[in-house]
Structure 1
Amino acid sequence: MSRDSQFLYSTRIDIPSMLRTQVIELLNQTLASTLDLKTQVKQAHWNVKGKDFYQLHELFDEIAAEMEEFIDLVAERITALGGYALGTARIAAQQSELPEYPFDLVEGMDHVTALADRFAIYAKSLRDGIQKTDELNEMDTNDLYIEISRAIDKRLWFLEAHLQTATNTSGAATANTQSHAVKAGAKEAKALR
């Protein structure tokens, strides 16, 4: 992104301009992906169908609202550092690290899977931001990345829990069946003694 490396507002923050420029570029990349992720969550919110419609419709709306808070936090950090927050939909579309959301999804679990895939990519980019700001010794921005990362990991857990139930139920049922069979076999062996 060229604009943020060419232009810094005057500020009394005691962080050298070269360091601020690097952090602002990183934050603008995060801003683009965060904006994109929020709109993808809203896409799922608007278009989800199926037996879990209401639950997922509400969950997706809650996640989108939380993403809006992160957008503000990132954009405000950029401007606090004297930078220019690049937060339009066009810039987000150009700069986001996320793949485009599939427009043919209808079923709830298909939306959950698509969002979980994107949240995993976003979570990794946040951890990259944590590492980079640590290397730059810019701990206030590092703390911001950590705060968002924790929340995104929690949201990814919420999404994956919907998927794991379907996957692990059969595995758990198999384990329970095997456990009952072992106990029944032990009782039969004991009765024969």
Structure 2
Amino acid sequence: MHPTRNDLPQDTRAAIVKLLNERLADAIDLQLQAKQAHWNVRGPHFISLHELFDKVSEEVTGFIDVIAERASALGGVAEGTLAAVSSRTTLPAYSLTISDGRDHVDALSKAIAAFGKQARAAIDQADSAGDANTADLFTQVSREVDKQLWFVEAHLEAKR
């Protein structure tokens, strides 16, 4: 840990930095999965899904930045390398063979939901560790991820 005048105890900061890096890996993976969908979507709803997936990627990039910066602010190191992300992510692997729009919507919505679940768990973990600011950060992330999930899942609604 780097020295800081942050008044959270060092063991608390170390635990929170570990938690932040775990969620950072998931966020980077989610951002890449959204880009994978964006680059490879095909079908009759191409343009709307192409733009939607790019918007999801953009929103998740914001999560990545705030999570990483919080780790650094606490005296930790934000571990956003490919090696760190691939060894830590908890998200389901994204298929490289998908092209159909609905299949991308299904796969990306599963990844967004998995990330949202982890973000909600991080709220409780940060709160239990005594770091209300990180709990608040994950509350904001969770709220935004739920909105992105809603936008994506809306494309799964079946015709009646």
TM-score by length of 1: 0.82
The answer to whether the aligner puts 1:20 opposite 2:13 as a matched pair is yes
Of the candidates 75, 99, 103, which is equivalent to residue 106 of structure 1?
A: 99
Secondary structure (helix, strand or coil) at the match of 1:155 reads helix
Percent identical pairs in the alignment equals: 44
Q: Indicate conservation of the 8 Å contact 1:98/1:121, yes or no.
A: yes
Q: Give 1:91 deviation, angstroms.
A: 1.1
Of the candidates 25, 31, 37, which is equivalent to residue 24 of structure 2?
A: 31
Runs of 4 or more, structure 1, over 3 Å off, are none
Q: Which residue number corresponds to residue 130 of structure 1?
A: 123
Q: What is the one-letter code of the residue matched to 1:130?
A: I
Q: Which residue number corresponds to residue 59 of structure 1?
A: 52
The answer to whether the aligner puts 1:80 opposite 2:73 as a matched pair is yes
Q: Could you report, residue by residue, the CA deviation over 1:45-64 in whole angstroms, capped at 9, with x for unpaired residues?
A: 00000000000001111111
TM-score by length of 2: 0.98
The separation in 2 between residues aligned to 1:137 and 1:83, in whole angstroms, is 17
Q: Could you report, residue by residue, the CA deviation over 1:150-172 in whole angstroms, capped at 9, with x for unpaired residues?
A: 000001111111102x2xx32xx
The separation in 2 between residues aligned to 1:96 and 1:78, in whole angstroms, is 17
Larger proportion of helix: 1
Write out aligned runs for 1:39-188 (5 A): 39-164=32-157, 166=158, 169-170=159-160
The separation in 1 between residues aligned to 2:63 and 2:10, in whole angstroms, is 24
Q: What is the one-letter code of the residue matched to 1:59?
A: L
Secondary structure (helix, strand or coil) at the match of 2:130 reads coil
Q: Indicate conservation of the 8 Å contact 1:99/1:118, yes or no.
A: yes
Q: Indicate conservation of the 8 Å contact 1:33/1:96, yes or no.
A: yes
The higher relative CO (CA closer than 8 Å, separation ≥ 6) is in 2
Count matched residues.
Answer: 160
Unaligned runs of 5+ in 2: none
Unaligned runs of 5+ in 1: 1-7, 171-193
Larger radius of gyration: 1
Q: Which residue number corresponds to residue 177 of structure 1?
A: none
Q: Give 1:93 deviation, angstroms.
A: 1.0
